[in-house]
Amino acid sequence: MADDVSAAARFGAFDGTTSVAGILGAVGTHPALLLHPVIGLAVASAVGMGAGEWLSETKTRWPVVGIMALATLVGTILPAIPMLLFTGIAPVVVSVALGLVMALLIGRLRSRTQGVRAYGQTVSVLLAATALALLAGGSV
């Protein structure tokens, strides 16, 4: 069960972090435009990922479902918080740093089975997702 909880935490946190990159890319550093989309995304993603975990199981393991939902919620909200608290370039720097911390934590969870390359893969995918979101959102 511990491996399942770890997998749910990795998957949920990474989904939330990469998903919010799309919102951040679309609205840039305009906090007035950020609050409602991020809250909506966080709630919908947490419910969707938790429900997806529940629906994919033959025997429901509620701790795994809860971890998936909670990790998705945290992964979605955490990188957006600086945009709501600060102005100028500071929130961008702090948000990027939080995203990298999330990627490194997820890489750490993955490294148990995939070694050091898990860090590079996780950070690379997050950076690629963020770059694509920025391009799609017109912020670049």
CB 79 within 8 A of CB 98: yes
> Which are the contacts of 134, defined by CB distance < 8 A and separation ≥ 6?
21, 25, 140
**What's the helix, strand, coil split of the chain in %, to 5?**
85, 0, 15
Q: pLDDT tens digits for 77-117?
A: 988 888 888 877 788 788 888 888 888 888 888 887 788 88
Task: Please compute, for residue 27, the number of CA atoms within 13 A of its CA located in the half-sphere on the CB side.
Answer: 17
Token pair of 139 as six digits? 């912020």
When divided into structural domains, the chain yields a total of 1
Note the pLDDT of residue 32.
Answer: 67
Question: Does the pLDDT of residue 31 top 70, yes or no?
Answer: no
Is 133 a residue whose pLDDT tops 80? no
Q: Which domain holds residue 89?
A: 2-137
Residue 41 identity (one-letter amino acid): L
